Amino acid sequence: MILLDGKMVSEELNLKLKNKVDSFDVKPQLDIILIGNNPASLSYVKGKKKAASLVGITTNLHHLDENISQEEVERLINSLNQDEKVDGILLQLPIPKHLDQEYLMDLIAYEKDPDGFHVVNQGKLFQKRKTIYPATPKGIMTLLDYYNIPIEGKSVVVVGRSNIVGMPISKMLLDRNATVTICHSKTKNIKEITKTADILVVAIGIPKFITKDMVKQDVVLVDVGINRVDEKLVGDADFDEIKDIASYITPVPKGVGPMTIHSLLFNTVLLYESKNTK
């Protein structure tokens, strides 16, 4: 088994990105909007800020009160959209229920969307046009490519169909000529399907859902899940059980997570460059 070491790969790629950013007179700027004090979000934002600063990207954190009004968040997004210095605007999800998440995500200028979640950027992805790719799927593709894992013609099973992971990674793998099957909460006989996968991508948020009887020998397993169990982080697959069957496997943590952050920074630099070449 070979570990798909997202931590190591992201550190190497972040260093490359730093070398590029070092050559810029004005540094790219990423503004992060964090609403409330969700502990997981606080920790993700901390990780993103730290990685950005290592790469030389300036971050501004707008930490807003849990009870902030929709109008106030809209005002902030509008002002960041207008601000020439801002290259990327990241709305840390989830946001409190009283806010209209879809509306706020649409409000962020799609030219300032380093997460690649904007409906315009996703629309472009689904029409196979040049776009800002969503951070987690892009991180997964970068990781698979780093280890030279063949994709074309492979049987790929994606478990999960979210807008931010399951759907876009399915499309990106399809665009690389994989044969992609998508499973979800209503899929029957899921085990029969996951067992056919040369590459299995799991993004559902259920600890250790994928067990060794659900995968075939030499599977490439990409575990996107991040679940907190007894103060520890575990993935959607049972790593210990599957590691001896898999040919490649991502650990949780230190697998897909750091690759997502790398993609976010990579996308921020792309947005900065495209602003400056307009």
Q: Does 6 bind ligand NAD (CB under 6 A)?
A: no
Give the per-residue SS3 of 191-217: HHHHCCCCEEEECCCCCCCECHHHCCC
With CB under 6 A as the contact rule, the residue among 7, 18, 161, 176 that binds ligand NAD is 161
For residues 166 and 204, what is the distance between their CA atoms, to the nearest angstrom?
Answer: 9
For residues 56 and 18, what is the distance between their CA atoms, to the nearest angstrom?
Answer: 6
Rank residues 86 and 264 by Cβ distance to ligand NAD and give the closer one. 264
User: In the range 255-274, which residues lie near ligand NAD by CB under 6 A?
Assistant: 256-257, 260
| Closest approach of ligand NAD to the CB of residue 190, in Å | 6
User: In the range 92-151, which residues lie near ligand NAD by CB under 6 A?
Assistant: 136
| Closest approach of ligand NAD to the CB of residue 71, in Å | 27
In the shown chain, the binding pattern of residues 196 to 235 toward ligand NAD, with x for contact by CB under 6 A and - for none, equals: -------xxxx-----------------xxxx--------
With CB under 6 A as the contact rule, the residue among 159, 220, 237, 265 that binds ligand NAD is 159
Torsion over CA: 10, 11, 14, 15 (sign) = negative
115 is catalytic: yes
For residues 90 and 114, what is the distance between their CA atoms, to the nearest angstrom?
Answer: 7
The amino acid sitting at 51 is: A
Rank residues 33 and 226 by Cβ distance to ligand NAD and give the closer one. 226
Q: Helices 119-126 and 166-174, interaxial angle, to 10°?
A: 30
92 is catalytic: yes
For residues 117 and 162, what is the distance between their CA atoms, to the nearest angstrom?
Answer: 11
- Tokens representing 189 are 């006989």
Residues annotated as binding site for NADP(+)?
160-162, 226
Residues annotated as catalytic are 48, 92, 115
Give contact residues for ligand NAD (rule: CB under 6 A): 136, 159-162, 164-166, 183-185, 187, 190, 203-206, 224-227, 256-257, 260
